[in-house]
Amino acid sequence: MLFRFLIFFLVLGILFNFAFWVFAQQPLEAPKTLEEAKKTGEGILSNFPQALKNVWQQALNLWKKMLNYVLPWLKTIWSKISWFLNKAVEKKKPEIKEKFEKEKEEMKEEIPAVSKSLWQKLKELVE
């Protein structure tokens, strides 16, 4: 959700900045010669990287402001979630230990049978 919010504002910022940049310029007339078209194209291309850099800087500033606004809120939510999860884990801790010990005993019983069968298979392969 936050990612979509950031992308939306990035695109919106780029569009508005580009629109204001275009409207702030002198109106372009259709070039009458090829040389005039070349000069116009070079002028547009020479200003484009700076315009893009300005848009990017403004978007970064906006993201920093949004992060400074959202980060304390996220920290509060995370502390509540972690408190709840820690509480749930503490309740289940004895049950988890019991299941772990049960699994451990089952593994101790199964390992000799599995290792014997593996050993037998290796013997068969060698013979």
Three-state DSSP state, 3: helix
More confident residue, 91 or 122: 91
Instruction: Check pLDDT > 70 for residue 13.
Output: yes
Q: Is residue 30 part of a domain?
A: no
Q: Is residue 105 part of a domain?
A: yes
pLDDT band of 21, cuts 50, 70, 90: low
Q: Is residue 27 part of a domain?
A: no
pLDDT band of 8, cuts 50, 70, 90: confident
- What does the DSSP assignment read for 25-80? SPPPPPPSSHHHHHHHHHHHHHHHHHHHHHHHHHHHHHHHHHHHHHHHHHHHHHHH
pTM of the model: 0.37
Q: Is residue 29 part of a domain?
A: no
Q: Is residue 111 part of a domain?
A: yes
Q: Is residue 33 part of a domain?
A: no
> What's the pLDDT score for residue 79?
92
Q: Is residue 31 part of a domain?
A: no
Domain that holds residue 17: 2-22+40-126
Q: What percent of the chain has pLDDT over 70?
A: 79
> What's the pLDDT score for residue 98?
92
Read off the pLDDT of residues 42-69 as tens digits, 9 standing for 90 and up: 877 787 788 888 888 998 999 999 889 8
Q: What is the total count of domains within the chain?
A: 1
Instruction: Check pLDDT > 70 for residue 20.
Output: no
